[in-house]
Amino acid sequence: MVKKIALEEHFLCPGFEGYWQSTVGDVDPKILAQVVARLSDFGDLRLKSMDAAGIERAVLSIAGPGVQAETDGRIATRRARDANDFLAREVQRRPNRYSGFAHLAMQDANAAADELERCMTELKFAGCMINGHTNGQYLDHPSLDPFWKRAEALGAVIYIHPTDPVTPSPALEGHKGLRRATWEWTFETGSHALRLVFGGVFDRFPRARIALGHMGETLPFLLWRFDSRAKLYGIKLAKPPSEYIKANILVATSGMCSAEPLNCAIAALGHDRIMFAADYPFEAAEEAGHWMDDVALNETVRADIAYNNAAKHFGLR
Ligand code: ZN
């Protein structure tokens, strides 16, 4: 088994169940109870699953949307801080196995920047995860420039996690099976990242970095088309869109145990920007781990994707 760092591994802390359950949809209550048990556990259940998958270190993040769905900004800021303190205590119990991503209330750009800085400097977190839009506001909004400025200065990677869109697309009407993780979240989250690219966030903050799960939410597959259409439509950016995607976006394999999109992501972005993730407990860590062990790759590339790239980009060991 190749040793691994897993980047998109979720937990729930007390008081956050309500936010999370709003995005669950129709799931068998028995399965739901098992998922909640796994989300709330930091001991045997999680560690056994990590061991079976060859995961040395899991970077833990709140199962979304968390305070991204909180309508009261002050409550959001306070609860995000409490959640980060909770996670820091769990990480402290097993510092060799766990690291943390900060949970941030983007309702207030300056408070979010302060909390990111506190989490990275005092709590030694690896970066942050933002669960998509905050009550309909995306991360390219100009009011968030102070946040990007601080994130860039800290060298923080902002991991953008899928969430439900503000309103479901009419194109999915009548097809419940296409909602959420099947297809809806890919479009929602890929669009979020493209808003940052096309909105010039990386022109304003050239060293800002984001991460996307699910093998890049289809972006690596579409680079040529983004460039071709951006030119045709006269989009005013310093570089073609693909250049930002290659320079400012990192990609994790979460929830995608499949060689074709992995090879596409490697070919499009370079293997040093691709990193392993399982998306526990929504996906089986064992399946993801065994897939990473077995998928056809040069052994140096496998070791980099499984461990070394995350160690380098997130300052983990
Ligand atoms: Zn996830």
Instruction: Check residue 24 and give its pLDDT.
Output: 82
Q: Which long-range contacts (CB under 8 A, 24 or more apart) does 271-274 make?
A: 271/301, 271/304, 271/305, 271/309, 272/304, 272/309, 272/312, 273/246, 273/249, 273/309, 273/313, 274/250, 274/305, 274/309
What's the 307 CA to ligand 1 centre distance in angstroms?
Answer: 19
What's the 284 CA to ligand 1 centre distance in angstroms?
Answer: 12
Instruction: Check residue 288 and give its pLDDT.
Output: 98
Residues lying with their CB under 5 A of ligand 1, a single-atom ion = 8, 279
What's the 312 CA to ligand 1 centre distance in angstroms?
Answer: 21
What's the 281 CA to ligand 1 centre distance in angstroms?
Answer: 9
Domain ranges of the chain: 4-314
Q: Which CATH superfamily is domain 4-314 in?
A: Metal-dependent hydrolases (3.20.20.140)
Catalytic residue among 108, 164, 279, 304: 279
Reply yes or no on whether 72 is catalytic: no
Structure tokens at 83: 């959640």
Instruction: Annotate 149-190 with three-state secondary structure.
Output: HHHHHHCCEEEECCCCCCCCCHHHCCCHHHCHHHCHHHHHHH
- pLDDT in tens for each of the 317 residues of the chain? 999 999 999 999 999 988 998 888 778 889 989 999 999 999 999 999 999 999 999 999 999 899 999 999 999 999 999 999 999 999 999 999 999 999 999 999 999 999 999 999 999 999 999 999 999 999 999 999 999 999 999 999 999 999 999 999 999 999 999 999 999 999 999 999 999 999 999 999 999 999 999 999 999 999 999 999 999 999 999 999 999 999 999 999 999 999 999 999 999 999 999 999 999 999 999 999 999 999 999 999 999 999 999 999 999 97
